[in-house]
Amino acid sequence: MHETDLHDLSDDADYAASIEQASASVMLTRSESGNRSLSSETEGAELIYSKDNVAIHPTQFASERISGRLKLAKQGHSVFMTWIPYKGQSSNARLSEKDRNLYTLRAVPFSDVRSIRRHTPTLGWQYIIIVMSSGLAFPPLYFYNGGVKEFFTTLKQHVLIVRSLEDANVFLVNDFQNPLQRTLSSLEMPGAVSIGSAPSTPASGSHLTAFTDGGKTSEVLSQSISRNRQKAHDPGRDLSIHVLEKFSLVTKFARDTTTQLFRENSNGFSALETKSYGISRPRPDAPYQEEPEKKVPEEIHVPSDPLEFDKLALVWGKPRQSPLGSMEWATFLDSEGRITDSKDLRKRIFYGGVEHAIRKEVWAFLLGYHDYDSTYAEREYLKSSKRTEYMTIKQQWQSISPEQAKRFTKFRERKGLIDKDVVRTDRSLPFYDGDSNPNVKTLRDILLTYSFYNFDLGYCQGMSDLLSPILYVTEDESESFWCFVELMERLGPNFNRDQSGMHAQLFALSKLVELLDPPLHNYFQQNDCLNYFFCFRWILIQFKREFEYEQTMSLWEVLWTHHLSEHLHLYLCVAILKRYRGKIMGEHMDFDTLLKFINELSGHIELDPFLRDAEALCIYAGENGAASIPPGTPPSLPIENENSLLYSLEDEVL
């Protein structure tokens, strides 16, 4: 594909319309005074930056982007960001005005922004990702006409921005109107350095002693800094998992050390701070008093489930069946090996799964490695030709000499990350157990080969979790590779560096919860849990860590049938949340508590009842549920249209 095929969008109606509207807006701007209001929310604000043709991509297709105008405004000491899509200018009929309004950003204060990630690839469009203090990350904003540098230059004049030492493209935002953020900034936390400045020496323990209590906090901070340094030297660390872990660490650290951080403040806590953190600071001269006996918290009223979930599952969810066996499997094949009724087969697997003895054969169909109408002979020929192709790709990295590797940084980084991951992937299974296990080496070889097969995506943490069961079932290197390739066609967007695939699914999950349990959705909204990051691991690796190995394989083959919905995994998320809604709301869990609770569910979820619940929710939601999931949300299979694909072209090829 030529570069012009990727970037020449002059024939795109949406792009042309945005250009026309941009010209009109320039004329309007010239006729107005320099001080303008963004909206009623920021009335009287001074416009300090405006950029047209800034777009978001709800799907992976460039033609389905939504273009709009990005603005920065200052009101007093506060800076706000607004992005408004152009009205009535769309080349994609599937995206309604309601869909477009879902992405509108209105007067977002930078006091609520945690960081900004900048992407400036050599080829492709520059874009930024805004991450809020709550952990929510807005969809990437693509600058079709450039302007990222001007955006940061303008912002730098009004808001303190520091560059992360862990990633030169991440900039941390600090609002000095917030006492807690101001104090955290004064610590010179490791991993941050001012823009345009040389990296400063990370804060040592001696710099932190003023905020300690008997040295305990210093020890905690030192351990936290040590962990951060280790992660900073992990060049291949997956961004998605990294962001989630960092967010959890920062929020916990900020809350646990609030008392020490404000100890220097002679005026103590303000009323707002005391209310927010529930901390009372004793006077230095006050006599010692025993802590009063803690009051038993009053019982919290939990809103009833509007769907009467227990009854719903009984009405709409069908009982699970026994797994598909070899004799029944044979009835789905004709004399030459073709599947006679693929729809009926997928429905049968959806309700019962597959016996392990025939998984190797059946999974190849479910994943798309074999066509349902292929014959025995055609499948044998395909295996032979694909094995040759696999070896050709594998030899590409096997032929790299030590001297080449010294000059191939990205290869060394990915190889190092794969080597580290495979030795800790499912080692409790006899199939992967023991030193010098050949299956672990095969797992490594497949992942390295895939990183050469898919240069753009490469390798990210979590991929070894997805490959492991496939190799366990097929016990064949080439077939495992090609089945993994087919799986990544569906789940690859989970590992996009801009997290677009994960954000699309988390957004769809939030809309499904809003549809199927409004009280629970409102609870998450009121407790800053609306980003649904606590479901991140569930979606990223398809519940791999939540169930026993056998149950995971049963779940995957159910999901791969795409019976009822391609997004049954999202309904499964809703089903689990609804089953535990009473505990979540009754114990008034905040984000950190909820994240801990969700992680501790691992290994304690029974699959079959929740699959029945997910089926009931999917049927009940019907068209409204399908409409809540934006087009192109993974694991939807990609549409074969090369000219409309939005490729993630980074400045590094591999």
Higher-confidence residue: 194 or 144?
144
Strand arrangement of the beta sheet that strand 192-194 belongs to = 105-109, 78-85, 66-75, 46-56, 141-143, 126-132, 113-119, 170-174, 160-164, 192-194
Q: Are residues 451 and 597 in the same domain?
A: no
In the predicted structure, residue 74 carries a pLDDT above the cut 50: yes
Read off the CATH number of the domain in which 96 is found.
2.30.29.230
User: Mean pLDDT across the stretch 375-397?
Assistant: 97
**CA-CA distance, 137 to 146, in Å (whole number)?**
21
SS3 285: coil
Token pair, residue 632, equals 């192109």
**CA-CA distance, 65 to 91, in Å (whole number)?**
9
pLDDT band at 146 (very low <50, low <70, confident <90, very high): confident
Q: Are residues 441 and 529 in the same domain?
A: no
pLDDT band at 496 (very low <50, low <70, confident <90, very high): confident
Residue 319 lies in a domain: no
Last residue of a domain, one of 452, 480, 495: 495
pLDDT band at 581 (very low <50, low <70, confident <90, very high): very high
pLDDT score, position 440: 97
Residue 30 lies in a domain: yes
pLDDT band at 95 (very low <50, low <70, confident <90, very high): low
Read off the CATH number of the domain in which 379 is found.
1.10.8.270
In the predicted structure, residue 249 carries a pLDDT above the cut 80: no
For residue 635, whether the previous peptide bond is cis, meaning omega lies within 30 degrees of 0, is: yes
SS3 138: coil
Q: Are residues 533 and 465 in the same domain?
A: no
Report the range of poorest mean pLDDT among 170-179, 248-257, 600-609: 248-257
Q: Are residues 434 and 525 in the same domain?
A: no
Residues pairing with 194 in the sheet? 162
pLDDT score, position 250: 38
Q: Are residues 233 and 102 in the same domain?
A: yes
Read off the CATH number of the domain in which 625 is found.
1.10.472.80
In the predicted structure, residue 560 carries a pLDDT above the cut 50: yes
Q: For residue 618, give the nearest of 487, 516, 532, 481 by alpha carbon.
A: 516
Most confident of 83-87, 88-92, 193-197, 284-288: 83-87
Q: Are residues 473 and 516 in the same domain?
A: no
User: Mean pLDDT across the stretch 616-620?
Assistant: 93
pLDDT score, position 313: 58
Which tens digits make up the pLDDT trace of 634-654?
986 543 333 333 333 233 322
Q: Are residues 421 and 539 in the same domain?
A: no
Angle, CA 321 vertex, CA 562 and CA 335 arms, to 5°: 70
Residue 370 lies in a domain: no
pLDDT band at 167 (very low <50, low <70, confident <90, very high): confident
Q: Give the relative orientation of helices 309-316 and 607-627 as an angle to the nearest 10 degrees.
A: 90
Residue 419 lies in a domain: yes
Sort strands 113-119 and 105-109 into parallel, antiparallel or unpaired.
Answer: unpaired
Q: Are residues 576 and 623 in the same domain?
A: yes
Domain extent, residue 94, equals: 13-250
Furthest C-alpha separation in the chain = 92
Higher-confidence residue: 262 or 287?
287
Provide φ and ψ at 354, rounded to 5°: -135, 140
**CA-CA distance, 602 to 162, in Å (whole number)?**
37
Q: Are residues 570 and 437 in the same domain?
A: no
In the predicted structure, residue 499 carries a pLDDT above the cut 60: yes
**CA-CA distance, 544 to 264, in Å (whole number)?**
47
- Domain count for the chain: 3
Last residue of a domain, one of 467, 495, 523: 495
Print burial letters for 618-637: b (CB count within 10 Å at least 16), e (below 16). bbbbeeebeebbbbbbbbbe
Q: What is the mean pLDDT of the chain?
A: 75
**CA-CA distance, 646 to 142, in Å (whole number)?**
11
Residue 440 lies in a domain: yes
Q: Are residues 106 and 60 in the same domain?
A: yes
Residue 290 lies in a domain: no
- The 8 Å CB, 24+ separation contacts for 451-454 are 451/397, 451/414, 451/418, 451/654, 452/393, 452/394, 452/396, 452/397, 452/654, 453/393, 453/485, 454/485, 454/488, 454/492
Residue 109 lies in a domain: yes
Q: Are residues 380 and 445 in the same domain?
A: yes
Last residue of a domain, one of 191, 220, 250: 250
Residue 287 lies in a domain: no
Q: Are residues 459 and 607 in the same domain?
A: no
